[in-house]
Amino acid sequence: MATHVLGGEMYYDNLQGNEYRITLKLYRDCGPGNVNGTGFDTEAQLAIYDGAGVFQFQQSAFFPGEQSVPVELNNPCLAAPPSICASWAEYVTTVTLVPNTTGYVISYQRCCRTPTMVNLPTGLLQGLTCTVQVPASALGVNNSPRFNEYPPIALCLGEDMVFDHSALDPDGDVLVYDLYTPYAGGDANVPAPIASPPPYANILWGPGYSGSAPMNGSPGLAIDPATGELTVHPTLLGSFAVGVRVREFRNGVQLSESIRDLRFDVVACDITIISSIQEQQEFCSGFTVAMENESINGQFWHWDFGDATLLNDTSNLTAPQWTYGDTGTYTITLIANPGWPCADTSTSVFDVHPPLDPYFERPPIRCTDENAQFLVEGAFTPAALVNWDFGDGAAPVLAAGHQASTSYSETGAHAVTVTVHDFGCEQSYTDSVIVFPRPQLSAEMDRAGCEQTGFDFVATGEAWTPISYAWAFGDSGTSNDPIGTHVYALPGLYDVVLTVSTSEGCIDSRSLVLNNWVQVFPVPEAAFTVEPDEVSLLDPHIEITDYAQRAQLWEYSIDGEVITTPSFAYEFDDAGLFEITQTVISGENCSSSITRTVHVTDHLFYAPTAFTPDGDGLNDTWAPSVQGARLYELIVFDRWGVERFRTTDTKARWSGDDLPQGVFNFVARIAEYGAYSKEYRGSVTLIR
């Protein structure tokens, strides 16, 4: 079923010693002639025989991928049909060939050739054999010749073809060229056999064709035996199988021969040179224009960029670029294949302008409902049309030329786009304006109180940046603290003003004016007299007389007692220094206090002479009765002078400590509230 074979060739290189690299080049039809779409095999099987035709071994060479054979014609005015397609693959492997007296034959066979060839019998699928010889060891080490270039696969009907089909021989041996009938190999039953031993059968020619005359031409196909130059003037359309042989001689002895099995397609070529320049797609893209050559079948070129002020505004490159010196409209001319009879010329008009590059500086952060100023700048002319888009939430825009302003009632980032129209071009630039909320504030403060007392205040501010506070309390007093206490020195009715401000982001200030907000009441005046202010414990009587002003309530604190009578008499129970504090309260609940001191002098001391610690609840403990003692010490001794009891507490009592009945001595030392002190000595009888 394979119908893809176009031809092939084989050559080898001696690497070192007995190692040889074998290269097999195969060509296949990738056009409509390959009716089954057959591709290259994944591996090629090479058969190695000795020179007597005895099989030695077989070697695999693997498919490396294929390459396209370019369709090139000698005449640039002509174009081959697009259906012509050929590709090639190069299978390479390395073998070891031990020197012998007969040499070796390396062969590969495959079926089948494309059935479109007009010089082969109709209906007969024929294969090919690629083969090469390694000479006997007596002739020395050899590298086979290999062809330099592949001839054009398409020949134009009625057009001369001249091609250098020479080969290269790495050893410098003499090469001789001729046309030769290719070998057959493989058939429809066994399309990829292990090659049979030499000699190999030639392919069968169709009527009128042979190895030396494989195609119709006037003159026909010929090759120079010395140079390998291949010539033909084809006179019949169709595909033709052709064999070109190169033989290698050293010292007059033939070492090897290689046959390139190939196919020529003679086609009707069209004269289809069309010059074409791209239409302008980018406008206002700058002074440099990159030319796009969209011509068909042109081979060489001449450009004229249409700058009337210059004589050298030309180029012969395929796709040049040109930088104009100024804006303007220019007619660009392209000649494809200038000087040829099939040359073609095209023109294209380009408007050249510098790129539009508008921009605006982002305004500082704005407050809500605060105008933001915009000015478009950049690369455009004063005549350019400018459009602004401030997005949702923008207030009506005030615009004058390239300037605008607007404001936003909502916080956040608002996209702003300016679009400039100039020279028929349009370019936009987008940035944003950031809107912060204005500062908000509230205040709390004690609204009524007394002079010389603290009035608490609390300020609450809200903003997206740090806030500064300023209180004015109406009495020339101020504060920058959000929370604190203020003392009014004089009674009265005061206005309070709170101001909050921000110094970054939304820069703004807000004030809260509280008229007649704080009422300060006068404080009553505490005053009283004590007569006398020094008394004896033996006569501890005093008189208190009130002289307070604006008082509604009175409260005296004397030795732990509270008395609410404005004026009264009082007697002390003990000696000492006593503070008397008067607190008076006005009708507005303001208060003041004053304290005076009374000195109660003298002291009293009495010591019982006996006690009975018998647990009957009567007279079970003993202690002197003491009044007026600022300092006090009591010590009890037994009759031998041993201390039995000691205290500094006038209320402490002695229990007898389970001592036996007897008489005990004591010493009591007392210091009065003043400079006087006294010591008492005596005895007490403990009765059991």
Strands (E) across 390-446 are located at 398-400, 403-406, 412-422, 425-436, 440-445
**In the predicted structure, residue 341 carries a pLDDT above the cut 80:** no
Q: What Å distances lie between residue 433 and 294, 360, 375, 610, CA to CA?
A: 47, 11, 13, 103
Which pLDDT score is estimated for 327? 87
Cβ of 618: how many Cβ atoms within 10 Å? 8
Pairing assessment for the beta strands 610-611 and 604-606 based on DSSP bridges: unpaired
Q: Residues 105-131: pLDDT tens digits?
A: 999 999 988 888 899 998 888 999 999
Cβ of 396: how many Cβ atoms within 10 Å? 7
Q: Residues 356-373: pLDDT tens digits?
A: 889 999 999 999 999 999
Alpha helices in 394-479 (DSSP H): none
Structurally, at CATH architecture level, domain 604-686 sits in Sandwich (2.60)
Q: What Å distances lie between residue 190 and 2, 110, 402, 517, 617, CA to CA?
A: 11, 9, 84, 117, 144
Share of the chain above pLDDT 90, in %: 74
- From CA 30, how far away is CA 88, in angstroms rounded? 10
Q: Residues 632-646: pLDDT tens digits?
A: 999 999 999 999 999
Q: Residues 200-213: pLDDT tens digits?
A: 999 999 999 999 99
Which pLDDT score is estimated for 77? 65
| For range 260-273, the mean pLDDT | 84
R_g of the chain, CA atoms, integer Å: 64
User: At 187, is the pLDDT very low, low, confident or very high (cuts 50, 70, 90)?
Assistant: confident
Cβ of 534: how many Cβ atoms within 10 Å? 13
Q: What are the extents of the domains in the chain?
A: 5-267, 272-352, 357-436, 440-517, 528-601, 604-686
CATH of domain 528-601: 2.60.40.10
| For range 569-594, the mean pLDDT | 93
Which pLDDT score is estimated for 52? 95
User: At 79, is the pLDDT very low, low, confident or very high (cuts 50, 70, 90)?
Assistant: low
- From CA 402, how far away is CA 387, in angstroms rounded? 9
Closest to 223 (Cα-Cα) out of 173, 151, 168, 155: 151
What DSSP designation does 514 have?
Answer: E
Q: In 3-state terms, what secondary structure has residue 138?
A: helix
Which pLDDT score is estimated for 651? 93
- From CA 64, how far away is CA 40, in angstroms rounded? 10
Which pLDDT score is estimated for 75? 65
Closest to 492 (Cα-Cα) out of 471, 509, 480, 476: 476
Q: In 3-state terms, what secondary structure has residue 450?
A: strand
More confident residue, 194 or 73: 194
Which pLDDT score is estimated for 42? 95
Q: Residues 484-523: pLDDT tens digits?
A: 999 999 999 999 999 999 999 999 999 999 999 999 999 9
Flag the least confident range among 77-81, 385-389, 541-545: 77-81
**In the predicted structure, residue 397 carries a pLDDT above the cut 80:** no
What the block records as the tokens of 36 is 């089954």
Closest to 688 (Cα-Cα) out of 622, 617, 621, 611: 611
**In the predicted structure, residue 682 carries a pLDDT above the cut 80:** yes
Task: For 21-46, give the secondary structure using H, E and C.
Answer: EEEEEEEEECCCCCCCCCCCCCEEEE
- From CA 119, how far away is CA 211, in angstroms rounded? 10
Share of the chain above pLDDT 70, in %: 98
Q: Residues 529-564: pLDDT tens digits?
A: 999 999 988 899 999 999 999 999 999 999 999 999
User: At 92, is the pLDDT very low, low, confident or very high (cuts 50, 70, 90)?
Assistant: very high
Cβ of 15: how many Cβ atoms within 10 Å? 11
Q: Residues 11-24: pLDDT tens digits?
A: 999 999 999 999 99
More confident residue, 415 or 341: 415
Which pLDDT score is estimated for 3? 65
**In the predicted structure, residue 383 carries a pLDDT above the cut 90:** no
What DSSP designation does 277 have?
Answer: B
**In the predicted structure, residue 662 carries a pLDDT above the cut 70:** yes
Same fold, 272-352 and 528-601: yes
8 Å CB contact between 282 and 217: no
> What is the distance between the terminal CA atoms of the chain, rounded to a whole angstrom?
149
User: At 1, is the pLDDT very low, low, confident or very high (cuts 50, 70, 90)?
Assistant: low
Average pLDDT, the chain: 92
| For range 183-193, the mean pLDDT | 91
Helix, strand, coil percent content, the chain, rounded in steps of 5? 0, 50, 45
Which pLDDT score is estimated for 497? 96
Q: Indicate the burial class of 476 (C-beta count within 10 angstroms; 0-12, 13-18, 19 or more).
A: exposed
**In the predicted structure, residue 315 carries a pLDDT above the cut 90:** yes
Q: Indicate the burial class of 135 (C-beta count within 10 angstroms; 0-12, 13-18, 19 or more).
A: buried
8 Å CB contact between 348 and 322: no
User: At 96, is the pLDDT very low, low, confident or very high (cuts 50, 70, 90)?
Assistant: very high
Q: The whole model's pTM is what?
A: 0.46
CATH of domain 357-436: 2.60.40.1080
Q: In 3-state terms, what secondary structure has residue 358?
A: strand
Topology of domain 272-352, CATH: Immunoglobulin-like (2.60.40)
Which pLDDT score is estimated for 512? 93
The domain over range 440-517 is classified in CATH as 3.40.50.300? no
